[in-house]
Amino acid sequence: MKIQRRFAIIGGTIAIIMVLAGCGSHSGPFGGGWFHRFHGFGADMPDFVLKRLDSKIEELNLTPAQKTKYDELRAHLKERLLAAKEGRKKFREIVRNELEKESPDVAALNGIIKKKIGDVSGALQDDLDLFASFYSTLDEGQKQKVIAGIRKRMAAMDTRREERQ
């Protein structure tokens, strides 16, 4: 009787733990779930990027002329981020449709991918030109703050890259 009781208690405890683990994996502590994975930003991506950029720009205490130049950069970035989202959807759909064919045309996919790379490269070059134009309006103290922020970001990226290797 003692052995059966022990097995019942141990079995019941294991069952309770399994049920709690199964339920908890969906809700987790504070409703956040136990398994945190990045699921993308969706429609919020442009807003997320611009809010981060705005918070960094606030630290620079821009003059009205600099603010005008920043607003131009910000408007361009928002427009490009929204267009890029739609472009990515169309690109994925085109590639997916081609790959679903019984015998996909790899040469056509090659051309599509090369065109996409060229489009992205051109957009990034435009962004860099606008950034350089904005950067040229900053005074030396503001430029030093921007460079320090870029260096800090690059150091963090290097650290993460080293951790993965």
**Domain residue ranges of the chain, discontinuous segments joined by +:** 2-28, 59-137
Residue 165, pLDDT score = 79
CB 77 within 8 A of CB 127: yes
pLDDT at 39 over 60: no
Report residue 3's pLDDT band, with 50, 70 and 90 as the boundaries.
Answer: confident
In this prediction the pTM is: 0.64
For residue 124 the two structure tokens come to 């990034």
Across the range 100-127, mean pLDDT stands at 89
CB 131 within 8 A of CB 73: yes
Q: Give burial (CB, 10 Å; 0-12/13-18/19+) of 134.
A: buried
Better-scored residue on pLDDT, 4 or 130: 130
* Alpha helices, DSSP H, located in 59-139: 64-100, 106-135
Residue 21, pLDDT score = 58
CATH dotted code for 59-137: 1.20.120
| Model pLDDT for residues 8-28, shown as the tens digit of each residue | 677 667 767 766 555 554 555
Residue 7, pLDDT score = 63
Q: If you ran DSSP here, which 8-state letter would residue 59 be given? A: T
Residue 19, pLDDT score = 60
